[in-house]
Structure 1
């Protein structure tokens, strides 16, 4: 059975546990471990992952592109690349308007153009901060004018791969145009990738398509699907994803989840409102053999599949057990 490369997003109730899971993923044969950004800082977590691993790639998946200045993001990338010995993938995404404005106090306007210019600025600093030469970018939304500055540490690389997260067609197209890779949303089926993403992405040689996947492995397939249902319910409660659910003939099922949410169920407690078909079509859930077959379905479409255990509405001990099963599956498939 041919499968894409296997990436992993480690979970932990503590940072120590998260790092231990990353080390185990490296030993199991994972190609890259990714540090998300929501409950922890992606660059800080990635630094810890880089320091505690040896050969596995390390990515920020994803760091918020607008919440930090391009200059600071570039310095973080240079530090992470040095710390990891050249293993960094800088994953960036915009986040949504409310998060940027209300959580981070940063402007939200023309996000596609802003991300384009942000990436250009980061690349200029990565390439030239050590030279002492002026660094200039005169964009419509992002400007750099750096004079009298020289970073006194030689960079390990003057080009660090940038992976962009994107859901909407314009952001997906931007990733294909300027990125070194693309990272999908957590619910991205092979059929959706083939029909809605790849035609807009138009990946070129060397470009890495990374599918993020909620993965629940259990000898009891019903238990696996029940574990993943909370993740599907969380996203189904958001109207932004209506097109995704409609594409999979799940519009009516999504409406049922939204009604449950409006009826008072919390976003993390919607698993019971999720129809089995939603889990089957949008997650990698089932027995080890079933999940392996679902991963194989991405062959020829994606270079890698990033696996992560479901967490929504689940106690830590259940998440821990699900993560252990993913790590065992990675080891089995990597032999």
Structure 2
């Protein structure tokens, strides 16, 4: 199983951190759209290491498909074919109030974004003229002096991050792969994610081998009691944050914890984060994350994704993980 780790996107840290990730034995690194840009760090990392690279994720809604296509196409070249474009939709509050963009039918918009990007790639590759006419986007003008020409490494694969059944099904219909939401459980993945993927593949006549599933998981790893206590505390904070979001309630619902979401949501709006953490039980942490030694965490990841995923993105939220433990986790997952 390939392993990808999140790189620090700070301009002054990204190069060294990318090298450290390579030294841990990881296969790739990824960025997310948080305090730093999601594309720029990968330009730096492409020259610092030979690791695989991906945005995980770039928020699609506020961006034009042409902007996403240019960034992805160039990164594919810079990295000599090691880049994949991961897209996500975000929630309404962030799209409207953080990005000052329009929130409108996110599943349909994402489907059209993926289709538009692939149409632009096809035009640049010279396989067909650009004539994309959709509900949200129209791309029909591409004079020769704006065409970068065929990518020597081929167009970058387009991945979609999804949790709900409609977005997951759409990803399986239109994208090259699925980035499984890290707020997840063994039961939700088996009962909700996989059936939604199968529906999307059947609608388009594709097979499982045509579509890549990339697992993502919150990891509380440590070999000592002190390390595990700190790791569990950090992961619990992220679980509380995710759990406060109405869009993520299906995972809690499957596990019988749906009633905790409204309380977490109300507490988040008043800034009572300590109380939010108190609502996260050890059972929730063990179910929604993986907990234990590097070898135990690797076994839990294998069990959760049951041969459905050949790659995994590991998160170590809110605590300082020991590099030796991460290296051991990577090695254990490579043996999977």
Q: TM-score, normalization: structure 1?
A: 0.86
Say which of 66, 75, 80 aligns to 2:70. Answer: 75
Structure 1 residue 280, shift from structure 2 partner: 0.8
Say which of 205, 209, 215 aligns to 1:205. Answer: 209
Q: Distance in 2 between matches of 1:97 and 1:117?
A: 18
Correspondence for 1:271: 277
| 2:297 pairs with 1:295 | no
Given that residues 86 and 161 in structure 2 are in contact (C-alpha distance below 8 angstroms), is that contact kept between their aligned partners in structure 1? yes
| 2:117 pairs with 1:122 | yes
Correspondence for 1:314: none
Given that residues 122 and 128 in structure 2 are in contact (C-alpha distance below 8 angstroms), is that contact kept between their aligned partners in structure 1? no
Say which of 142, 158, 163 aligns to 2:159. Answer: 163
Q: Distance in 2 between matches of 1:185 and 1:25?
A: 22
Say which of 122, 130, 133 aligns to 1:135. Answer: 130
Secondary structure of the residue aligned to 1:305 is strand
Given that residues 100 and 107 in structure 1 are in contact (C-alpha distance below 8 angstroms), is that contact kept between their aligned partners in structure 2? yes
Deviates more, 1:36-45 or 1:129-138: 129-138
Q: Distance in 2 between matches of 1:255 and 1:138?
A: 41
Given that residues 26 and 330 in structure 2 are in contact (C-alpha distance below 8 angstroms), is that contact kept between their aligned partners in structure 1? yes
Correspondence for 1:37: 33
Q: Which runs of 5+ in 1 are unaligned?
A: 312-317
Say which of 196, 215, 218 aligns to 1:214. Answer: 218
Aligned residues: 322
Secondary structure of the residue aligned to 1:182 is strand
Correspondence for 2:326: 326
Shift of the 135–254 alpha-carbon distance from structure 1 to 2, 3 Å rule, reads closer
Secondary structure of the residue aligned to 1:8 is strand
Shift of the 206–326 alpha-carbon distance from structure 1 to 2, 3 Å rule, reads farther
Q: Distance in 2 between matches of 1:122 and 1:251?
A: 37
Shift of the 277–117 alpha-carbon distance from structure 1 to 2, 3 Å rule, reads same
Q: Deviations over 1:20-76 (max 9, x none)?
A: 33323333332321111121111112222222111x211111101122211111111
Matches within 5 A, 1:1-335: 4-11=1-8, 14-54=10-50, 56-129=51-124, 131=126, 134-150=129-145, 151-152=147-148, 154-202=150-198, 204-219=208-223, 220=225, 221-254=228-261, 257-258=264-265, 260-261=267-268, 264-266=271-273, 270-297=276-303, 298-311=305-318, 318-319=319-320, 321-322=321-322, 325-334=325-334
Q: Deviations over 1:279-306 (max 9, x none)?
A: 1110122222321221221231222221
Shift of the 305–106 alpha-carbon distance from structure 1 to 2, 3 Å rule, reads same
Q: Which runs of 5+ in 2 are unaligned?
A: 202-207
Correspondence for 1:315: none
Q: Deviations over 1:64-109 (max 9, x none)?
A: 1122211111111111000000011110111122222222233222
Moved over 6 A (4+): none
Shift of the 108–258 alpha-carbon distance from structure 1 to 2, 3 Å rule, reads closer
Secondary structure of the residue aligned to 2:144 is coil
Secondary structure of the residue aligned to 2:13 is helix
Structure 1 residue 149, shift from structure 2 partner: 3.3
Q: Deviations over 1:173-228 (max 9, x none)?
A: 01111111100212122221111101111262142111211112112244432231
Secondary structure of the residue aligned to 1:117 is helix
RMSD, aligned CA: 2.5
